[in-house]
Structure 1
Amino acid sequence: MASLGSWREILQSALQSHKHLKHTQHLQLATVRADGRPANRTLVFRGFVDGTDKVQFTTDFRSQKVEEMKHCPFGEICYYFSESWEQFRINGILELISSTESDPLKKALREKAWFDSSPRLRASFGSPYPGHPKTSEIQLPKLDSSQGPLDNFCVLTLDPKEVDYYDAKKGRRIIFKLLAKQSDDDANSIWSQQEVNP
């Protein structure tokens, strides 16, 4: 099999060719509940953490997925591109970067993600507790545009270990597996690539 390039190059190509579709930035994240049952939800892709293959999202510290990660740090995202019929299933380790983070690089990543977010998204982290019974109309707080992240604002990353890529138009499926990381920045990570039956 001729190499198609890295899974990330293929994903970035799919993102680029579908950028005219608003839903292109949406994907699903599956986690495992404490009782072993699956949980799934839609998130917005916020790019890759600079210098790494880590996929980035934002989340509320009070969300159920944060509790699920305490029980089981593994997650899988699923991307589907409607025009090219390509699917990416990416599984790996989830990490939460919260208001209590002490690592300066991670703190800076959280702050950058905050200021890269829309004012409406930022305000949503001051809304009532997610998933609790609604008692009145939700009034989002007014925030100063220079105000730093609210305590509930977190960055969530998924560090990929395996990628299952399926191109339904071409009937091609490839499994990419992380074999070794040479450094923390993923620049020299070694991945295997195996074509399998669709």
Structure 2
Amino acid sequence: MGSSSAAPWKQLLIGSIQANSHLKHYSYFQLIDDLKHCPFAEVIQFALQVQQREKSWFACSLRSRMQYMAPTPRVSVYEQASQTQTPSLDPSIGPVGAFCLLVLDPDQVDYLNLKTNERLIFTSGLGVDGEKLWTSQNVNP
């Protein structure tokens, strides 16, 4: 079992993002509506790169930004059509209210690499100086 004050899993995350950068869907994930009611979340894929909200907004294509202007999910198409008009978006204006950037501060990271059959569990705790201290353990996949 090793320990480090820096987050040793970050390099694995960055490597995974870079190795899969050719896959467009790999850069995004969506957390379900339950997150509003529960402060805990599990991200299944290593596909997270945190940036400032506005920087992330402008990094998205205009087509991607338009998705945040889309009608409410699971509302009848006929009901929605009678209440709204076609949305328009000024490309120079910052993020709309529906665009949210979450900053995740994990307590535990479970890294599984199916290609190498390797699994590492990273767990954080507080060191004597009050800084976050990470420990890692190799476990069976």
2:57 is the counterpart of 1:114: yes
- Cα distance in 2 for partners of 1:139, 1:124 equals 15
The one of the two structures with greater contact order (alpha-carbon pairs below 8 A, sep at least 6) is 2
Higher helix share: 2
2:115 is the counterpart of 1:169: yes
- Cα distance in 2 for partners of 1:18, 1:127 equals 28
CA contact 1:89–1:165 (8 Å) conserved in 2 = no
- Cα distance in 2 for partners of 1:134, 1:189 equals 48
- Gapped runs of 5+ residues in structure 2? none
2:42 is the counterpart of 1:76: yes
Instruction: Output the TM-score relative to the length of structure 2.
Output: 0.71
Cα deviations by residue, 1:22-54 (Å, 9 ceiling, x for unpaired): 333244xxxxxxxxxxxxxxx3xxxxxxxxxxx
2:121 is the counterpart of 1:148: no
Instruction: Output the TM-score relative to the length of structure 1.
Output: 0.53
Q: What is the letter of the counterpart of residue 130 of structure 1?
A: P
Number of the residue aligned with 1:22: 24
Number of the residue aligned with 2:74: 131
- Cα distance in 1 for partners of 2:101, 2:86 equals 20
CA contact 1:172–1:197 (8 Å) conserved in 2 = yes
Number of the residue aligned with 1:192: 135
CA contact 2:119–2:139 (8 Å) conserved in 1 = yes
CA contact 2:27–2:47 (8 Å) conserved in 1 = no
Structure number with bigger Rg: 2
Q: What is the letter of the counterpart of residue 55 of structure 2?
A: K
State the shift of 1:89 in Å: 10
What is the aligned-residue RMSD (CA, Å)?
Answer: 3.4
- Cα distance in 2 for partners of 1:162, 1:2 equals 14
- Cα distance in 2 for partners of 1:143, 1:154 equals 17
State the shift of 1:160 in Å: 1.3
Number of the residue aligned with 1:178: 124
Cα deviations by residue, 1:103-133 (Å, 9 ceiling, x for unpaired): xxxxx93333222222122222222212211
What secondary structure is seen at the aligned counterpart in 2 of 1:125?
helix
- Cα distance in 2 for partners of 1:173, 1:150 equals 39
- Cα distance in 2 for partners of 1:159, 1:175 equals 16
